[in-house]
Amino acid sequence: MISPLSVVSPDAQIGNNVEIGPFCMIEPEVSIGNGCKLDSHVVIKSGAIIGENNQFYAGTVIGGPPQHISALPPFGQIHIGNNNVFRENVTVHCSLKESGATLIGDDNYFMISAHIAHDCVIGNSNVLVNNVMLGGHVVIGNRAMLGGAVAIHQNCRVGSLAMVGGQAHVVQDVPPFVTVDGLTSKIVGLNQIGLRRNGRTSEDLKILKGAYFSLYRSEMTWKEIQQFFQDNYSTGPVAELTQFILSTKRGIVRERAASRSQLRVAEVDESGIERSDAPPTLRVNVG
């Protein structure tokens, strides 16, 4: 069903059971797969190849020239897989080069005003929360979570099952399976909840913890770390992490520095003496 208030090029290929709401614009050289739904004011520009059962909310713009001062036509394409959700005002730009493409896989959820720049590569089942900004050539793995207003510098990568906290600014690669603190933009450990939810066993987590300590807490040089992972973690639950650190070009995000001191907080009675029957004391990190 196509609203009579929309403009759809006769050169666009529209699949079966596609719904196009009012005030949409579909340019030539566009392909929209079966079962897609476009709310009002959606723009799909030339060069977009879209799979099946994708949903585009109001104000979404798919395509258009890359935001690059050296951008000159002809530009490349955008390839979108199946079952993705693009909430209001999401923008996705085409490739900077005619032979290239911005790539989006399946089952991703892009929340309001997320921006995917030219030549990004996004895997499957990722969640990008409101106002996430991806620079050009950013690569996102599978089942990653990027919190609100996260900014990823161009040419950086975010590994699978990584969780990046809101407002983090990422200028190096985020390895798979880790959590980035939004306040400091540093690694704060494994994404254990996400790993468990995605079927990783207790034994997997034990192995991953050992690998994490080797990566961030050892005194090895970077080259020694890469060799160590290649020798010891080329298969099994750490294999994806090994391939990631062997292929990084920008280096990886550092771990957040440990607290400089700790404050011991204990329960005391009226005379100021610590109670013998008090529960275990709370240790609060400060500094």
C-alpha to C-alpha distance for 184 and 191, rounded to whole angstroms: 16
How does pLDDT run across 53-103, given as a tens digit for each residue? 999 999 999 998 999 998 899 999 999 999 999 999 999 999 999 999 999
Catalytic residue (one of 136, 147, 148, 194): 136
Residue 152 has pLDDT above 70, yes or no: yes
Q: Starting from the edge strand earliest in sequence, which strands make up the sheet with 157-158, in order? A: 13-14, 31-32, 48-50, 77-80, 101-104, 121-122, 139-140, 157-158
Q: Starting from the edge strand earliest in sequence, which strands make up the sheet with 187-190, in order? A: 19-20, 37-38, 55-56, 85-86, 109-110, 127-128, 145-146, 163-164, 178-180, 187-190
How does pLDDT run across 95-141, given as a tens digit for each residue? 999 999 999 999 999 999 999 999 999 999 999 999 999 999 999 99
Asked about 136 being catalytic, the answer comes back as yes
Catalytic residue (one of 21, 41, 93, 119): 119
Domain covering 7-140 in this structure, CATH number: 2.160.10.10
- Percent share of the chain, pLDDT over 90: 88
Asked about 118 being catalytic, the answer comes back as yes
How does pLDDT run across 14-24, given as a tens digit for each residue? 999 999 999 99
How does pLDDT run across 215-254, given as a tens digit for each residue? 999 999 999 999 999 999 999 999 999 999 999 999 999 9
Residue 263 has pLDDT above 60, yes or no: no
User: β-strands 139-140, 187-190: how paired?
Assistant: unpaired
| pLDDT given for residue 257 in this prediction | 81
Catalytic residue (one of 115, 118, 137, 173): 118
Asked about 11 being catalytic, the answer comes back as no
